[in-house]
Structure 1
Amino acid sequence: MIVVLLNTYLALLFILVKLKVVPFNLFWKVSPVLVLLVLLIGLFIPMNWGAPQGPVLVVRNSVAIVPDVAGEVVDVPVTANTPLKTGDVLFRIDPVPFQAQVDALAAQLKFQETRLAEMTQLQSRGTGRAFDVEQREAEVEQLKAQLAGAKWNLDKTTVRAPADGYVTNLALRKGARVTSLPLAPVMAFIDTADTLLGVEINQIDARYVAAGQPVELTFKWAPGTVQTGKVESVLQAVATGQVQTSGIAVAPKSVQAAPFVVRVKLDDEAFARMLPAGSAGDAAIFTDRVKAAHVIRKVLLRQIAITNYVNPF
């Protein structure tokens, strides 16, 4: 944009000199340099404070699916990268051993409840001991707890989607044996219920950014379009500001001005849900400062949106 403005001034100056409206003296010869300095100091450098711009990235939460019970997979009804709703079946584990355990505990519970009824009746007639009744009651309660746990295990043989989203990089097949170890996930589930958009803003440009300010964004995935949104928050920490326990002294080269991340939310929620995880682009945040530069930033962002048709980087 600064090149366009400077070239416009040069063209206008050329016309005025040719028409002899202005004399081509030393002042007008050096005036392009003066105009360049005025544009830089008076407009384009403050524009980075009033309307900072930075790269934007779409991030989605990834859930590592680990079954709660171990067993052989008997059914995998899902298809990779197909939208799923909360509660949709991801896969099923052979329920036979778990159903057998439920049936066995249910039979034992029924037997113990019968014995408890008999012991209670004997006690009421004065021919039974209170200790025997209390013991049978404890056994019944213990079996009820075991049966509840067995039913829970049986229910967990059907693994369901934890949220709206989709499964990606699906390799699980019928016949595979899965375990409940936390370090052995069987598939990756991408949660689409919440779309996270982060904008990197240089520290020198982030001091006036605040929640609620308007944002405009353009994505490589959707060239030629500009989306609107609002600032949700400015993340209060970056990796370079995180202290971890170690026996190493601070290395001077690790102290650097890493950009801050600003979380934004799109106004068009339907478009946000369509954005693939990893979608990149550019975003501009319009603060309450240097409002005269907002129009130029809008123009620059739309230029980027148009060049996204041909610029893959």
Structure 2
Amino acid sequence: MADADPRIDTADARVADAPAPTKRRWLRPLLMFGIPLIVIGVVAYLWATSGRFVSTDNAYVQQDKVSVASDVAGRIVAVNVRENQLVKAGDLLFRIDPDPYRIAVEQANAQIAGAQVSLQTLRATYAGTSADIAAATDQIAAAQEDYQRQSELMKRGFTTRARLEQSQHGLEQARATYQNAVADANEARARLATGAAVPGENPQIAAARVARAKAQLDLSRTEVRAPVSGQISQADRLQVGQMMVTGLPAVTIVADARSWVEANFKETDLARMRVGQPAEVSFDAYPGLHLRGHVQSIGAGTGSEFSVLPAQNANGNWVKVTQRVPVRIAIDEKSPRQLIAGLSADVRVDVRN
């Protein structure tokens, strides 16, 4: 037993002296050379791209918003749209009670008929004045002849002065009748005349036709239609039975045919920014969506300049704050997802050129 123990110890010693397996010899060189190379690559990228881009996350999607109002007043009798409904230009939105405007059209037609009757009366009156002038002319001729005869008889002593004066008075009366007939004819002719603004048509009939055109226009405006294509918003204000006031916005259409991004850049980022520079737009609502665009225009004033209460820096209590300038970014490609007005966006502009 004593001799066996040293052999066992010798075998264990040989096993202990055997070299350990080297399964991860590549890890040490990787750590020694790989990490410095990665660091150098990151530093080189940051150095190469530093100053190439300016970016901001203070940006929002903008779209044209058209407020639709009624051109005529009245009670709403039908509503054809609902909230968030897509409409095309020319689609009927709502209808106002047309009965008062139909009555106005009929009244205008009656005015035209009355003006036409008045015109016929004026023509008949003018024709009658022509006959009166002819009769007055004959009366003057007869009175002139009687006056001459009485004058000759007066010279011979065969008539009295009273008879001569009566003949003279008859001549003057005939002349006055002629003048009245001529004045009546001129008045009738003036009523039948047409003005330079509406040549060839009686002014009364022209005024009645204009009134009818106005009534027909108001009747057509009782049907309020979409001026542009887009999505209905704020349609809760449209209720059957509600009274509409002229010019009061009733519903809003968000025209999604054209979208852009309004990015508020710091004033310190504008030194190398120019119109036309390429940009990239991403959206908080759609992770992974990136759209190409370009700088369309740079605002004419900072956001605080157009605020309701602009800052007054002349009071002595002044702290310099970096201002933001609105920059419009046009989107150059069609988005696979719907762009909603007011969505938050991130904008990065390439300012190399």
- TM surpasses 0.5: yes
Pair 1:271–1:162, CA change in 2 (3 A): farther
- 1:130 alignment partner, one of 189, 192, 195: 189
Deviations for 1:25-80, whole angstroms, at most 9, x for unmatched residues?
A: xxxxxxx9xx8xx7799567x42xx3101123111232332211111111111121
1: CA distance, partners of 2:127 / 2:313: 77
Per-residue deviation, 1:244: 8.6
CA contact (8 A) 1:240 1:255 kept: no
8 Å CA contact 2:63, 2:258 repeated in 1: yes
The equivalent position to 2:206 in structure 1, one of 132, 141, 148, is 141
Q: Which amino acid aligns with 1:54?
A: T
Stretch deviating more after TM superposition (232-241 or 50-59):
232-241
Instruction: Give the one of 250, 260, 269 matched to 1:205.
Output: 269
1:282 maps to 2:284: no
Aligned partners of 2:65 and 2:252 also within 8 Å = yes
1:224 alignment counterpart = 288
Superposition pairs for residues 12-23 of structure 1, below 5 Å?
Answer: 15-16=32-33
Q: Which runs of 5+ in 1 are unaligned?
A: 1-10, 23-31, 290-313
The residue aligned with 2:217 is: 152
Q: Unaligned 5+ residue runs, structure 2?
A: 1-27, 132-184, 195-200
Which structure 2 residues correspond to residues 1-313 of structure 1 after superposition, within 5 A? 15-16=32-33, 42=47, 46-47=50-51, 50-55=52-57, 56-120=59-123, 122-123=125-126, 126=130, 129-134=188-193, 137-171=202-236, 172-180=238-246, 182=247, 184-242=248-306, 250-251=314-315, 253=318, 256-269=321-334, 271=336, 274-288=338-352
| Map of 1:8 onto structure 2 | none
SS of structure 1 residue aligned to 2:71 = coil
Residues 254-294 of structure 1: CA deviation (Å, up to 9, x unaligned): 8632222221111223558x3011111211111225xxxxx
Between 61-70 and 208-217, report the one with greater CA deviation.
61-70
Deviation of 1:14 (Å): 5.4
| Bigger Rg over Cα | 2
| Cα shift readout 1:133-179 (whole Å, capped 9, x = no counterpart) | 24993322222222222112111111111211122131112111111
Alignment CA distance shift 1:12-1:40 (3 Å)? farther
SS in structure 2 at match of 1:224: coil
Distance in 1 between residues matched to 2:29 and 2:208, nearest whole Å: 93
Cα distance change of structure 1 residues 12 and 144 upon mapping to structure 2, 3 Å threshold = farther
In 2: Cα distance, 1:255 partner to 1:115 partner: 79
TM-score (norm 2): 0.63
CA–CA separation in structure 2 for the residues paired with 1:278 and 1:219: 11
| 3-state DSSP of counterpart to 1:58 | strand
Question: CA distance change for structure 1 residues 250 and 161 in 2, over 3 Å: closer, same or farther?
Answer: farther
The Cα of 1:238 is off from its aligned counterpart by 1.9
Offset, 1:198: 1.1
Deviation at 1:13, TM superposition (A): 10
Query: TM-score, normalising length from structure 1?
Result: 0.70
Off by >6 Å, runs of 4+ in structure 1 = 38-41, 243-246
Against the structure 1 CA distance between its residues 118 and 230, is the aligned structure 2 distance closer, same or farther, given a 3 Å change threshold? same
Counterpart Cα distance in 1 of 2:253 and 2:29: 59
**SS of aligned partner of 2:81:** coil
CA distance in 1, matches of 2:253, 2:228: 9
CA separation in 2, counterparts of 1:194 and 1:254?
Answer: 39
- Comparing 109-118 with 90-99, greater Cα deviation is found at 109-118
SS in structure 1 of the partner of residue 288 of structure 2: strand
Aligned residues: 258
Letter in 2 for 1:95: P
RMSD of aligned residue pairs (Cα, Å):
3.5
